[in-house]
């Protein structure tokens, strides 16, 4: 099976070969030559190597056909190993002009190519073509039209014998040649030897006679005209069997997908007194990458990516080891379902020691080299260059390197790339995103390029989403995205070593909150607004929080840090607990940034150590500087525990005068011993009766002890 890279070659299509040149030539009579044509450098993905030979034929150059030269396939041999073909072609002169051209066809002349009329690629549904009308490529050129961008009533689409047929209405009159054509034929012969385009040179010798009849006599060439045809999305082929009786089209019957206004002259011969009224065309699809098909039209692909097992199975086909990067670009459902090792580009990328901005030229060179090593690069470059025109999704073993950001966010790629699916966040950082990764996630979200984690830990497809007015987000199960976007966020802070004895009380507290929200009218927490619970994702108190959330059908989230053992580290390694549904991951050096992205509405503290103290201080600072809405913070556990942890520090700060004007912070923290006390605090707050903030009292111990202190209620 040829590599996927051959499908990205812009110079060839898989249904046609390059032009072949005559290597032997024999004259049969005044009107007939027998040529041996050699074709080389055939693409290894040419479908003619696999299909029935009866479906393959020689297509002579249209410039030759328009001067009355036809080429009929007599036989051929294909060699997939050398990627070459030997074709026997009977060259016939039609009419006097065709006879005059034959002497100028010589050994070395490039006269045509093979076309593989693969029945599997026939367009069967007229809607496939009809939906292209009125659509244009990125340069504003129509994808399919006859006489203009929006098509024409002169193009009739029908279904005949299980295939789509387009009938092109022929204009009145016929095309004849000016007397100077005889002197042009030697030049045309030289153009064939040089294999340069000569169609426009032929055209300048053609004259349109609108009043002449369109019938045909023996040994006569009939050139007719339709409105200018533009084809970008398919190959077209004249269907001889559907022409009016007595008419035959030359073997120059293929209209290539770069056909523009030139697709308006057709060359016929035969014998008939009845005038020809239309040209019937059938169509063959291009390689999926080149079909100019919109993602919204790919119903099967959209169904496939909603089937999570299909995506997990797709990644199983990626070759190479986990030390190698791999990527592929998918534009069709059956392509996704039938991926194999050859469908992927695999690269073992080697990191460079970038010299930095002080060596700007060398830095830029090394970055370009590194970018070109990425397996996604050939696909992104092909999109930029126009070789890939269909919209699709990128599958990549590792989340794309941030150095690809410039390409990913370019206009062309942004329009074509409708999703990024990856298995692992990083080759270097394994399951943990770098700060640069999270920055590009934010940009991809803003540029409407959805990003999905095919996560083997949760065995779910997770989509990256950000809540409104926030520059950070999480990877969330597909069926929970709306919940995450609307949810009131509750956070659990606590030890990774101790679960404590809070689980039942925490469950009752959350159950009570679910009841309270049905009657609450507070902006932070109103009826119909779901709950989500966030922890650090590790064991201990964090696992308790995530477990209770799952039991209560509350979205269970986590901001997970890479606490794997480092040199001189005294941090206990923390495995992700099994109750996490939505998550974001962080490298250890971005611990503070991670904490800033909790974005909690209602923090809850359980027993904890240094990490919990750090989190407590951050929540305290947030309220002091006014970066968050003032909501009550719950301290769950023994009053003595929280007095020993909080009160000495608070009173020392009071004594020193270092929190002057901020003493009111003590009224934001509420120590409770059971769920009922916590629900009392939340109930008063949601009724907008709880007095917290600058106007509230100061509590000398640094927090409100519920059950002993009376809640401060607004007048």
Q: Round to whole Å and give the CA distance between 707 and 595.
A: 31
CA neighbours within 13 Å on the CB side: how many for 70? 23
Is a pLDDT exceeding 70 seen at residue 323?
yes
Is a pLDDT exceeding 60 seen at residue 205?
yes
User: Using the 8-state DSSP alphabet, how is residue 359 labeled?
Assistant: G
pLDDT in tens, 687-711: 989 999 999 999 999 999 999 999 9
Q: Round to whole Å and give the CA distance between 80 and 16.
A: 14
276 & 240 share domain:
yes
Q: Round to whole Å and give the CA distance between 59 and 19.
A: 9
Is a pLDDT exceeding 60 seen at residue 569?
no
User: Does residue 395 sit within a domain?
Assistant: yes
pLDDT in tens, 18-55: 999 999 999 999 999 999 999 999 999 999 999 999 99
89 & 135 share domain:
no
Q: Round to whole Å and give the CA distance between 499 and 393.
A: 43
User: Does residue 393 sit within a domain?
Assistant: yes
Q: Which of 272, 287, 302 is the last residue of a domain?
A: 287
Q: Round to whole Å and give the CA distance between 591 and 615.
A: 11
User: Which CATH number is 253's domain given?
Assistant: 2.70.40
pLDDT band at 581 (very low <50, low <70, confident <90, very high): very high
356 & 232 share domain:
no
Quote the number of domains for the chain: 3
User: Does residue 404 sit within a domain?
Assistant: yes
355 & 427 share domain:
yes
Q: DSSP states of 555-601 as a string?
A: EEEEEEE-----TT--SPP-PPPTT--EEEEE-GGGHHHHHHT---S
pLDDT in tens, 406-428: 999 999 999 999 999 999 999 88
Q: Which two tokens stand for residue 554?
A: 């509350």
383 & 361 share domain:
yes
> Which residue is it, tokens 């503290």?
605
- Provide mean pLDDT across the span 89-94: 96
Is a pLDDT exceeding 70 seen at residue 352?
no
Alpha carbon distances (Å) from 105 to 23, 185, 190, 223, 630? 12, 10, 9, 21, 88
DSSP strands (E only) in 590-712? 602-605, 633-636, 669-672, 704-705
CA neighbours within 13 Å on the CB side: how many for 305? 27
- Provide mean pLDDT across the span 193-200: 87
User: Which CATH number is 318's domain given?
Assistant: 3.40.140
Helical ranges in 278-421 per DSSP H = 299-306, 308-316, 333-337, 360-373, 377-385, 405-408, 411-416
- Residue of 266, 233, 214 lying closest to 151 (CA atoms): 233
User: Does residue 30 sit within a domain?
Assistant: yes
pLDDT in tens, 509-539: 999 999 988 888 888 887 788 999 999 998 8
270 & 350 share domain:
no
pLDDT in tens, 614-653: 999 999 999 999 888 899 999 999 999 999 999 999 999 9
The alpha carbon of 322 is separated from its chain's Cα centroid by a whole number of angstroms, namely: 23
pLDDT in tens, 363-402: 788 888 888 899 999 999 999 998 899 999 999 999 999 9
Q: Which of 268, 287, 306 is the last residue of a domain?
A: 287
Share of the chain above pLDDT 90, in %: 70
Using an 8 Å Cβ cutoff, are 299 and 332 in contact? no
User: Which CATH number is 100's domain given?
Assistant: 2.40.30
379 & 438 share domain:
yes
Which residue range is the domain that position 35 belongs to? 1-120
- Residue of 297, 309, 2 lying closest to 132 (CA atoms): 297
Using an 8 Å Cβ cutoff, are 552 and 528 in contact? no
pLDDT band at 475 (very low <50, low <70, confident <90, very high): very high
3 & 55 share domain:
yes
Q: Which two tokens stand for residue 202?
A: 């032929």
301 & 396 share domain:
yes
446 & 302 share domain:
yes
Using an 8 Å Cβ cutoff, are 7 and 75 in contact? no
Q: Round to whole Å and give the CA distance between 455 and 430.
A: 12
């Amino acid at each position: 099976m040829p590599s996927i890279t051959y499908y990205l070659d812009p110079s060839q299509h898989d249904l046609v070969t390059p032009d072949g040149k005559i290597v032997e030539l024999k004259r049969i009579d005044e009107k007939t030559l027998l040529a041996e044509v050699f074709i080389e450098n055939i693409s290894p993905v040419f479908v003619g190597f696999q299909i029935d030979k009866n479906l393959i034929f020689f297509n002579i150059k249209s410039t030759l056909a328009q001067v009355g030269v036809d080429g009929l396939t007599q036989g051929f041999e294909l060699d997939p190993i050398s990627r070459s073909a030997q074709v026997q072609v009977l060259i016939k002169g039609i009419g006097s002009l065709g006879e005059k051209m034959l002497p100028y066809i010589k050994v070395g002349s490039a006269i045509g190519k093979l076309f593989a009329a693969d029945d599997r690629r026939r367009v069967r549904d007229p809607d496939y073509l009809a939906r292209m009308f009125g659509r244009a490529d990125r340069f504003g050129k129509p994808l399919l039209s006859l006489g203009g961008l929006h098509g024409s009533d002169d193009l009739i689409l029908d279904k005949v014998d299980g295939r789509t047929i387009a009938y092109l209405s022929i204009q009145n009159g016929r095309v004849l040649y000016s007397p100077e054509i005889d002197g042009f034929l030697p030049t045309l012969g030289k153009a064939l030897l040089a294999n340069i385009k000569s169609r426009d040179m032929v055209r300048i010798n053609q004259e349109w006679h609108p009043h002449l009849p369109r019938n045909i006599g023996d040994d006569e060439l009939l050139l007719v005209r339709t409105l200018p045809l533009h084809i970008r999305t398919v190959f077209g082929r004249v269907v001889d069997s559907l022409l009016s009786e007595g008419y035959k089209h030359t073997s120059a019957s293929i209209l290539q997908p770069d056909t523009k206004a030139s697709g308006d002259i057709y060359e016929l011969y035969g014998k008939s007194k009845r005038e020809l009224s239309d040209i019937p065309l059938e169509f063959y699809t291009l390689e999926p990458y080149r079909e100019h098909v919109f993602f919204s039209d790919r119903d099967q692909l959209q169904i496939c990516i909603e089937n999570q097992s299909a995506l997990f199975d797709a990644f199983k086909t990626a070759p190479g080891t986990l030390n190698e990067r791999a990527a592929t670009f998918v534009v069709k459902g059956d392509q996704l379902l039938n991926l194999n090792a050859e469908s992927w580009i695999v690269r073992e990328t080697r990191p460079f020691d970038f010299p930095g901005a002080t060596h700007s030229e060398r830095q830029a060179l090394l970055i370009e080299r590194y970018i070109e090593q990425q397996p996604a690069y050939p696909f992104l470059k092909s999109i930029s260059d126009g070789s890939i025109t269909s919209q699709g999704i990128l599958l990549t073993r590792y989340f794309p390197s941030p150095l690809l950001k410039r390409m990913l966010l370019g206009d062309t790629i942004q329009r074509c790339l409708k999703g990024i699916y990856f298995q692992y966040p990083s080759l270097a950082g394994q399951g943990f995103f770098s700060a640069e990764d999270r920055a590009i996630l934010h940009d991809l979200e803003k540029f409407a390029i959805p990003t999905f984690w095919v996560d083997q830990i949760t065995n779910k497809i997770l989509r990256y989403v950000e809540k409104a007015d926030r520059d950070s987000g999480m990877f969330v199960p597909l069926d929970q995205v709306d919940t995450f976007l609307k949810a009131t966020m509750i956070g659990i802070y606590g030890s990774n070593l101790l679960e404590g004895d809070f689980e039942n009380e925490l469950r009752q507290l959350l159950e009570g909150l679910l009841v309270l929200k049905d009657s609450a009218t507070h902006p932070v927490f109103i009826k119909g607004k779901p709950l989500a619970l966030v922890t650090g994702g590790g064991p201990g108190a964090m696992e308790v929080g995530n477990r209770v959330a799952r039991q209560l059908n509350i979205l269970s989230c986590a901001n997970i840090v890479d606490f794997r053992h480092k040199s001189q580290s005294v941090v206990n390694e923390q495995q992700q607990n099994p109750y996490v549904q939505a998550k974001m991951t962080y490298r250890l050096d971005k611990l503070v940034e991670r904490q800033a992205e909790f974005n909690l509405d209602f923090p809850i503290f359980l027993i904890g150590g240094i990490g919990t103290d750090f989190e407590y201080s951050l929540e305290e600072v947030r309220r002091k500087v006014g970066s968050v809405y003032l909501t009550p913070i719950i301290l769950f556990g023994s009053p003595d525990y929280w007095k020993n942890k909080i009160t000495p520090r608070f009173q020392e700060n009071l004594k020193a005068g270092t929190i002057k004007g901020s003493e009111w912070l003590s009224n934001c923290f509420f120590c409770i011993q059971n769920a009922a006390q916590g629900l009392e605090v939340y109930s008063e707050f949601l009724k907008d009766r709880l007095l917290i903030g600058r106007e509230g009292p100061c509590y000398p111990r640094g927090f409100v002890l519920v059950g002993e202190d009376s809640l401060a209620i607004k007048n």
